[in-house]
A and B are shown apart, each in its own frame.
Chain A
Amino acid sequence: MSARETLAARQISRDDSLVGRSIVRPNIRRHTEGGGHFVDDIKLPRMVHVAFLRSPHAHARIVSIDSNAAARMPGVIHVATGKDIAAISKPYVGVLRHMEGLRSPPQYPMAVDVARWQGEPVVAVVAESRAQAEDAIQRVDVGWEVLPAAVNMEKALDPSEPVIHESYGSNLCYRQIVDTGGVDEAFAQAHLVVEDTVNIGRQTGVPLEPRGLIAAYNAADRELTVYHSYQSAHLMQGTLATCFSMEERQIRVIVPDVGGGFGIKIHTYGDEVAACALAIILNRPVKFIADRFESFQSDIHARDHRVRGKLALDREGNILALEIDDLTGIGPYSMHPRSSSIELLEVVLFTGGNYKHKLYRARGTVVFQNKNCMCQYRGVGHPVAFAAMEHLVDQAALKLGIDPAEMRRRNLISDDAYPYTSPSKTRFEILSHQKCLTQLLKLMEYDDLRKEQAKLRKRGIHYGIGLASFFELTNPSPLIYGMGGARIGTVESCTIRLDAGGQIVVHTAICELGQGAETIVAQIAADAVGVELSSVKVISGVDTLSGPTGSGAWASRQTGTVGEAVLQAGLTLRKNILDVAAVVLQTSEEKLDIINGSVVMKDGKRGGNVSLLELARIAYYRGNELPSTCEPLFMATHQFRIKDYDFVFSNGAAGCLLEVDPETGFIDLLKIWCVDDCGRAINPKLVDEQIRGGMAQGIGPALLEHCIYDDQGQLLTCTMADYLLPMSLDVPDIEVHHVQTLTKTSALGAKGIGEAGASAPPGAIMNAVNDALRPFNAKVTRQPITPEVVLEALGKISQVSSVSRQA
């Protein structure tokens, strides 16, 4: 360990360190007083509002657009078609070069000749108020030639289906194969083969604050400023520069408070690019705030996977081989800039990745269809992978008469096997599946719970207990997107300074979506320098003009990467402060420490103390007191990226208890337990809250949430009354415990946690429901697990509705 590493470890693990403590977020009181500052709260002089006419058809040619009547409506300032916007905005292509075969045609911000999903923007109306813009939209007359739509992903590759992008000859977007070899032999020799198909429905993220931005153009200097509810300011800056053929320095993106993101606000949305284009065209500020109805039609959707899985086992229940075939339909385009193939890729790479078997074969197919676009949303592929695998493991356990917990104990990768390379060649640095499982079972009082369950079963009360082991891709290296040609960075920077008032000011590009990102920055900075939390000011919000470059909130990466940059910059600042203090105190730097904002003698001798405030006063105002050889540098900067591994994985185990009413098919979720290992937990309470919030977003799709389309490609769930999100009675109390296995990829040792919670519930809940249904010899394999799905499994009804069968 280098001296620097030793110091880093010491600073964050002293008795009085803030890292590792559940510090209350210092900057949230304003939210309780209505003092949040969201995009829609901003008003600019001469600001106008845009609304979009969206395609009412899943697939249709635009024959004509007559906007004369609309243009004459009160308050209307401008009407623009897809062609008008295309004249100043280049199309974008959502492919990554390192994903061989991935294809998607250029996508324009608004439909130009053909609309390819219901909800695609077609005509933009700018007016003095949003209401007036909406009035005018009703007066736009679009002549449509309705085309046959490819809706069902299972049929998308059938020769009889309409081909969405003619030149491709089929609706195939991407195919991914993994094969270790030896899989067929393993299945041929297996004691038991378990086979099943799991369907995971389409869902979406529904941040409570809808997408929105204000774009303002300064024609004189050719500068575009965008206030954006977004997860990555620098990404949007790059995207807009490309679209408008401008230099990045001509584009400034400012991200104020963001009312939830979850991966929804990190993609290129045509309506948002079009709003920026309109600001340029009109040379006045344009506000676009998506309403909830259009959010459901245009915010990316996610999941919608059909996984066929097959497990080979020996007599003792050891898993010998796994085979999966995953299919997903992603809408008519692969989303820019991350592509819509990553979710499938993660299913293919990660299914079974927590288990010991060496033989694996996977086939993944991504198809185009005439539905809203799909892309990365909290959990990306993980919930699908773990639902499929955990289901197969439970089915195998059932057939072999082995308890599901024991089945996992036998098959999960041992904690001493790391570093470990999975059959899909995924490299895991250090995980703790066995330890998490052991702690989880203890936390759940698993054995007692089983006894209780048996007792209740005799009384006709059907409890189900479900387990799921999981891991999560976090802190990615440039391998994820950057090498594929996307302008998505993986470097994070921090500039930290001691200002003349004695305050430590920290500037990063961390994007606060409510996770508590800024609190974590403050805790690390305070420890690194040696000051109290109240002496640290973290600059809120991201501004591409004034702040450091960063990549934003995605892939559960900010704590691990921004945090490390803060730690290292803080250590440098600490050293710089001590250099000056040594001069002032006429001693050497090694003899000094900084405690609670004061420089003190390490040996505890009195008389040698000087506060950081006093040092700052000397340096900034009374430099005459310093020898000319002393040049204070009360500002330090550090940049950090993950190097030694492609990704830093975290992991955990979750369990759930629920009751199934076999007469109605209703499910009552009673309790969830989770043991997670995200390496060093900087703020355990905030880690708990990420797990809980994530789990709510895993419970939703498991039981309630579903984007339902009819067979014409019409989305039927466009309001919050139809798209059922979990409410306060639908999420039980969730007990969270932590294991902390530090990563060595950074001195901080923190892995990510933001998405892990969403990954476990689909598997754990499905296993619990099937556990409850065991006496009835019934099982469910389709999510959301609606009462109807349960009743169908129980044979009480002949089949679920056709819309529910979509998943």
Chain B
Amino acid sequence: MIEPKEVFDISLTVNGERLTRRVQVRTNLADFLRHDLELTGTHVGCEHGVCGACTVTLNGKIVRSCLMFAVQADNCEVQTIEGLSRSGVIKDLQDAFVQHNGVQCGFCTPGMLAAAHALLQQGPLPSRERIRDFLSGNYCRCTGYQAIVDSVQAAANQRARSSMP
């Protein structure tokens, strides 16, 4: 019989780095990333899974890190904004966010970039409507979203141009 426990030892890969940590099972992944690993680029805006600020990728797919427990990331691969940045895979999106002022206060930005990255992986040249639809789970309180949509669209156009023969 499996015995339920309050503390668990987990092994996972975060931003390409293999880690082993002992966690309280009630610690959510966002808090684990922020406070245990000090990867503070993942932000917490609601803890209800609504605002999207805590969006990270888990095994390559975007998830709300406030809506899962760190223990559930055992044996998984997590990418935070810090890892996405360092690997260079979202450099064009980051450039576009800077260029089009898709950032105001910066609090939604890491989650927004993770979501935008997931969108652009799904296919080239999404329409503005499609961008708005896909990003609808990520709140921004500063920009009114237009500059963010502009940023994502610009990065998508750039990718389409550079992939042309």
Residues of chain A whose beta carbon lies under 8 Å from any beta carbon of chain B: 24-25, 28-36, 38, 40-41, 43, 131, 205-210, 257-260, 262, 291-292, 513-516, 685-686, 689, 692-697, 719-721, 725-729, 731, 733-734, 757
Chain B residues whose CB sits within 8 angstroms of the CB of A727 once the complex forms: 136-137, 139, 145
- A sample of 11 inter-chain contacts (CB < 8 A) reads A25-B98, A32-B113, A38-B40, A209-B105, A258-B105, A292-B48, A692-B144, A694-B144, A697-B141, A720-B48, A731-B146
Q: In the complex, A697→B143 CA distance in Å? A: 10
Chain B residues whose CB sits within 8 angstroms of the CB of A726 once the complex forms: 144
B148 near A515: Cβ-Cβ < 8 Å: no
Chain A residues whose CB sits within 8 angstroms of the CB of B35 once the complex forms: 43
B42 within 8 A of A: yes
B46 near A292: Cβ-Cβ < 8 Å: yes
Q: In the complex, A498→B26 CA distance in Å? A: 53
A719 near B48: Cβ-Cβ < 8 Å: yes
Question: B146 is contacted by which of A29, A33, A692 (Cβ under 8 Å)?
Answer: A692
Q: In the complex, A516→B144 CA distance in Å? A: 15
Chain A residues whose CB sits within 8 angstroms of the CB of B103 once the complex forms: 25, 28, 31-32, 514
Chain A residues whose CB sits within 8 angstroms of the CB of B139 once the complex forms: 208, 720, 725, 727
A28 near B106: Cβ-Cβ < 8 Å: yes
Q: In the complex, A729→B109 CA distance in Å? A: 18
Question: B144 is contacted by which of A25, A257, A695 (Cβ under 8 Å)?
Answer: A695
Within 8 A of A (CB), among B99-132: 99, 101, 103-110, 113, 128, 131-132
Question: A720 is contacted by which of B40, B50, B140 (Cβ under 8 Å)?
Answer: B50
Q: In the complex, A728→B153 CA distance in Å? A: 14
B136 near A729: Cβ-Cβ < 8 Å: yes
B138 within 8 A of A: yes
B53 within 8 A of A: yes
A514 near B106: Cβ-Cβ < 8 Å: yes
A693 near B98: Cβ-Cβ < 8 Å: no
Q: In the complex, A210→B66 CA distance in Å? A: 15
Q: In the complex, A472→B155 CA distance in Å? A: 36
Q: In the complex, A38→B108 CA distance in Å? A: 12
B45 near A210: Cβ-Cβ < 8 Å: yes
A34 near B110: Cβ-Cβ < 8 Å: yes
B77 within 8 A of A: no
Chain A residues whose CB sits within 8 angstroms of the CB of B104 once the complex forms: 260, 513-516, 689, 693
Chain A residues whose CB sits within 8 angstroms of the CB of B128 once the complex forms: 733
A719 near B46: Cβ-Cβ < 8 Å: yes
A34 near B42: Cβ-Cβ < 8 Å: yes
Further pairs besides A31-B110, A36-B43: 14, Cβ < 8 Å: A32-B109, A34-B42, A36-B41, A38-B40, A207-B141, A260-B105, A514-B104, A514-B106, A516-B101, A720-B48, A728-B131, A728-B135, A731-B145, A757-B144
Shortest CB-to-CB span from A696 to chain B, Å, is: 4
Q: In the complex, A36→B144 CA distance in Å? A: 20
B141 near A262: Cβ-Cβ < 8 Å: yes
A24 near B101: Cβ-Cβ < 8 Å: yes
| In the complex, residue of chain A having the shortest beta-carbon distance to the beta carbon of B150 | A733
Question: B142 is contacted by which of A40, A257, A260, A685 (Cβ under 8 Å)?
Answer: A260
Chain B residues whose CB sits within 8 angstroms of the CB of A729 once the complex forms: 132-133, 136
A693 near B142: Cβ-Cβ < 8 Å: yes
A689 near B107: Cβ-Cβ < 8 Å: no
Q: In the complex, A456→B38 CA distance in Å? A: 56
B50 near A206: Cβ-Cβ < 8 Å: no
| In the complex, residue of chain B having the shortest beta-carbon distance to the beta carbon of A720 | B50
- Count contacts on B: residues with CB < 8 A to the other chain: 57
Q: In the complex, A126→B51 CA distance in Å? A: 28
Q: In the complex, A28→B132 CA distance in Å? A: 23
Shortest CB-to-CB span from A79 to chain B, Å, is: 22
B82 near A34: Cβ-Cβ < 8 Å: yes
Q: In the complex, A731→B142 CA distance in Å? A: 12
Chain A residues whose CB sits within 8 angstroms of the CB of B26 once the complex forms: 131
Chain B residues whose CB sits within 8 angstroms of the CB of A208 once the complex forms: 43, 45, 51, 53, 105, 107-108, 139-141
A34 near B51: Cβ-Cβ < 8 Å: no
Q: In the complex, A515→B141 CA distance in Å? A: 12
Q: In the complex, A43→B140 CA distance in Å? A: 26
B14 within 8 A of A: no
| In the complex, residue of chain A having the shortest beta-carbon distance to the beta carbon of B151 | A32
Q: In the complex, A35→B94 CA distance in Å? A: 13
| In the complex, residue of chain A having the shortest beta-carbon distance to the beta carbon of B97 | A32
Chain A residues whose CB sits within 8 angstroms of the CB of B136 once the complex forms: 727-729
B156 within 8 A of A: no
A34 and B144 contact, Cβ closer than 8 Å, known pairs A257-B105, A514-B106, A719-B48: no
Q: In the complex, A582→B108 CA distance in Å? A: 50
B44 near A40: Cβ-Cβ < 8 Å: yes
| In the complex, residue of chain B having the shortest beta-carbon distance to the beta carbon of A694 | B144
Q: Which of B45, B128, B146, B147 has the most CB of A within 10 A?
A: B146
B12 within 8 A of A: no
A259 and B105 contact, Cβ closer than 8 Å, known pairs A32-B94, A34-B85, A292-B47: yes
Within 8 A of A (CB), among B1-54: 24, 26-27, 34-35, 38-48, 50-51, 53
Shortest CB-to-CB span from A146 to chain B, Å, is: 29
A685 near B101: Cβ-Cβ < 8 Å: yes
Chain A residues whose CB sits within 8 angstroms of the CB of B148 once the complex forms: 728
Closest 7 CB pairs of A and B: A34-B41, A31-B106, A514-B104, A259-B107, A514-B105, A34-B81, A696-B144
B149 within 8 A of A: yes
Chain B residues whose CB sits within 8 angstroms of the CB of A695 once the complex forms: 144
Chain B residues whose CB sits within 8 angstroms of the CB of A43 once the complex forms: 35, 38
A260 and B99 contact, Cβ closer than 8 Å, known pairs A34-B40, A40-B44, A719-B48: no
B65 within 8 A of A: no
Q: In the complex, A188→B122 CA distance in Å? A: 67
B57 within 8 A of A: no
Chain B residues whose CB sits within 8 angstroms of the CB of A29 once the complex forms: 94, 98
Q: In the complex, A727→B50 CA distance in Å? A: 11
Shortest CB-to-CB span from B130 to chain A, Å, is: 11
Shortest CB-to-CB span from A34 to chain B, Å, is: 2
Chain B residues whose CB sits within 8 angstroms of the CB of A33 once the complex forms: 41, 81-82, 85, 94
Q: In the complex, A734→B136 CA distance in Å? A: 18
Shortest CB-to-CB span from B39 to chain A, Å, is: 7
Q: In the complex, A38→B47 CA distance in Å? A: 17
Shortest CB-to-CB span from B104 to chain A, Å, is: 3
Chain A residues whose CB sits within 8 angstroms of the CB of B50 once the complex forms: 719-721
Q: In the complex, A210→B45 CA distance in Å? A: 7
B135 near A513: Cβ-Cβ < 8 Å: no
| In the complex, residue of chain B having the shortest beta-carbon distance to the beta carbon of A672 | B144
Chain A residues whose CB sits within 8 angstroms of the CB of B27 once the complex forms: 131
Shortest CB-to-CB span from A510 to chain B, Å, is: 14
B81 near A209: Cβ-Cβ < 8 Å: no
Shortest CB-to-CB span from A298 to chain B, Å, is: 15
Q: Which of B46, B106, B137 has the most CB of A within 10 A?
A: B106
| In the complex, residue of chain B having the shortest beta-carbon distance to the beta carbon of A291 | B47
Q: In the complex, A34→B27 CA distance in Å? A: 21
Q: Which of A32, A131, A721 has the most CB of B within 10 A?
A: A32
Chain A residues whose CB sits within 8 angstroms of the CB of B39 once the complex forms: 34
| In the complex, residue of chain B having the shortest beta-carbon distance to the beta carbon of A718 | B48
Shortest CB-to-CB span from B25 to chain A, Å, is: 12
Q: In the complex, A28→B81 CA distance in Å? A: 15
Q: In the complex, A277→B53 CA distance in Å? A: 31
Shortest CB-to-CB span from B67 to chain A, Å, is: 13
Chain B residues whose CB sits within 8 angstroms of the CB of A35 once the complex forms: 41
Chain B residues whose CB sits within 8 angstroms of the CB of A207 once the complex forms: 105, 107, 141
Chain A residues whose CB sits within 8 angstroms of the CB of B113 once the complex forms: 32
